[in-house]
Structure 1
Amino acid sequence: MDFVGYAILLTTSFLASIIGGMMGMAMLILPPVMIFLGVPIHTAIATGRFAMLGINVGSIAMFSGKGMMRREYYLVFAVAGMIGSFAGASLLALIPERALYLLLGTFMILISIVMLFEEKIKKLHPAKGAITLRRHALSVGAGLLLGAYMGIIGGGGATVIIFLLVLIYGVTFHEALANQKAISLPITLVAALVFIMQGLIDYSLGIPMLLVNVVGGVIGAHLVMKMRGPWLKAILVPVTIAIGIKLIFF
């Protein structure tokens, strides 16, 4: 990759990490940009997932001081997610390139559509109430499925976790956002370790991206506590859908 491409990638990674810290859609941005810059799709997904560690670390550093992260909301989901992530990440290298383009494009479109109904979903949450076995069971099922998806593709998985925490435990959006970081970090770490063992990560891209993502994650977590940024969603959703269509059909 030449200097211009490298500069574009790091700038995109930084901006995506801010968005990821705010609404969890960074993996819908990074792999497509890497692919368009000439990175093979398996490497793009694996390296992008490795770089996501920076967002999670930066965001957790910001949220941990707010007292919003509670073990009863994230622990069960995170453990199940780690199991699912290991299974999903182990399959990535076996999936044909064309199938990955179809999967990535399809999920980019689906997650973007979900984002259009974000405000309605947030209003559907049940009363917070007691932490019950039923709620934990729902977390296990959701964690296994989302973990597997985030291990294979990952784009938008963090956003879905936010919505699921709202629906399962009845937490507020900001509580869900904070606890989602404690779920996404171990899921991402497991997937990254699998990709490291498989030799899929391009460290010349991944390490600089990870470092700028730490800063972006802190900024995004700070911004989301002050605003929600509907204008950001209005721009991001149609662009993401357009990129998804291109990956599927072109």
Structure 2
Amino acid sequence: MEITSLILLLIISFVTSIIGTLIGTAMLIMPPAMIFLGVPVHTAIATARFSMLGIGIGNITKFSLQDRINLKYALPFAIAGIFGALFGASLLAKIEENVLKIIIGILMISISLLVLFEDRIKPSSKRKQIRLGHYALSIIAGLFIGAYIGVIGGGGATIIIFLLVLIYGLNFKDAVANQKAVTLPMTITATIIFVYQGLIDYKLGVPLLLTNLLGGWVGAGLLLNFKNKWLKIILIPIMVIMAVKLIFF
């Protein structure tokens, strides 16, 4: 990759890691951006997933200092997600490149709609007394979301945020923080599979991981004063345009 393309990708990565921290859409942006800059589809997905380790580490470090992560919410979800991610990541190399482009494009549009209308569909954030049924729901959801994150993962974090609010009644900011503890083990699991399959481009992945680490730390610090209206105005049209290009061109 040319140096100008790499610099552009690092800038996109930094901004995306902040956005991904706040609303969970980093994997919807990075793989398409890498594909547009000439990275093969499977390599783009695997390398982007590897770089997400940076966001996860930056986020969890910052949120732990803020005492926002509670393992009783995250742990059942995360453990189930590890098994789901093992299954999903093993499927990636078997899916045709053109099919992956269409799947990514459709998911970009779907998650854009979810983010656009989140205020209307967001469940009540009244914290619930935890029962066995809540853990059962977390395990079932974790298996499915983990498998999805293992294959592609774009928008998976956004869905987990909503599920944490729905299942446990967390407020939005606590759900964002605990979602990071859910997704990091899934990301580690998927990355191990991608390393074994030889799909990761480390010349791209390592700089992106370091950039994401910085962006994840910055994004976690911004969460307390975060208002996402401006992000929707800027981000959603870009995501829809990129999705249309992936599907039809």
TM value normalised by structure 1? 0.97
Instruction: Report the alpha carbon displacement of residue 126 of structure 1 after superposing the two structures with TM.
Output: 5.8
Q: Which residue of structure 2 lines up, in the alignment, with residue 179 of structure 1? A: 178
- Residues 188-233 of structure 1 show CA distances to partners (whole Å, capped at 9, x for unaligned) of 0000010000000000000000001100001111111112231012
Q: Distance in 2 between matches of 1:77 and 1:218?
A: 23
Q: Distance in 1 between matches of 2:229 and 2:126?
A: 25
Q: Which residue of structure 2 lines up, in the alignment, with residue 108 of structure 1? A: 108
- Comparing 126-135 with 225-234, which one deviates more in the overlay? 126-135
Q: Distance in 2 between matches of 1:119 and 1:60?
A: 26
* Conservation of the 8 A alpha-carbon contact between 1:121 and 1:163: no
Q: Which residue of structure 2 lines up, in the alignment, with residue 15 of structure 1? A: 15
Q: Which residue of structure 2 lines up, in the alignment, with residue 140 of structure 1? A: 139
- Residues 158-177 of structure 1 show CA distances to partners (whole Å, capped at 9, x for unaligned) of 11100110001001101101
Question: Superposed, which structure 2 residues align to 1:188-207 within 5 Å?
Answer: 188-207=187-206
Q: Distance in 2 between matches of 1:242 and 1:146?
A: 25
Runs (5+) with no aligned partner, structure 2? none
Q: Which residue of structure 1 lines up, in the alignment, with residue 91 of structure 2? A: 91
Q: Distance in 2 between matches of 1:154 and 1:179?
A: 17
Give the AA of the match of 1:163: F
The reply to whether residue 153 of structure 1 matches residue 152 of structure 2 is yes
Question: Superposed, which structure 2 residues align to 1:1-250 within 5 Å?
Answer: 1-122=1-122, 124-125=123-124, 127-250=126-249
- Comparing 229-238 with 215-224, which one deviates more in the overlay? 229-238
Task: Kindly report the root-mean-square deviation, in angstroms, between the aligned alpha carbons of the 2 structures.
Answer: 1.0
* Conservation of the 8 A alpha-carbon contact between 1:108 and 1:244: yes
TM value normalised by structure 2? 0.98
Q: Distance in 2 between matches of 1:85 and 1:104?
A: 17
- The percent identity for this pair of structures is 54
* Conservation of the 8 A alpha-carbon contact between 2:125 and 2:171: no
Instruction: Report the alpha carbon displacement of residue 242 of structure 1 after superposing the two structures with TM.
Output: 1.5
- Residues 47-74 of structure 1 show CA distances to partners (whole Å, capped at 9, x for unaligned) of 0000000001001111001222111100
SS in 2 for 1:127: coil
- Residues 138-179 of structure 1 show CA distances to partners (whole Å, capped at 9, x for unaligned) of 111111111111111111111110011000100110110110
Runs of 4 or more consecutive aligned structure 1 residues displaced over 4 Å after TM superposition: none
Q: Distance in 2 between matches of 1:41 and 1:168?
A: 34
C-alpha distance 61-31 of structure 1, shift in aligned 2 (>3 A): same
* Conservation of the 8 A alpha-carbon contact between 2:62 and 2:220: yes
SS in 2 for 1:131: coil
Q: Distance in 2 between matches of 1:57 and 1:126?
A: 26
SS in 1 for 2:182: helix
- Comparing 61-70 with 88-97, which one deviates more in the overlay? 61-70
- Residues 113-151 of structure 1 show CA distances to partners (whole Å, capped at 9, x for unaligned) of 1101211233x2263221111111111111111111111
Residue-pair matches, total = 249
* Conservation of the 8 A alpha-carbon contact between 2:126 and 2:171: no
Runs (5+) with no aligned partner, structure 1? none
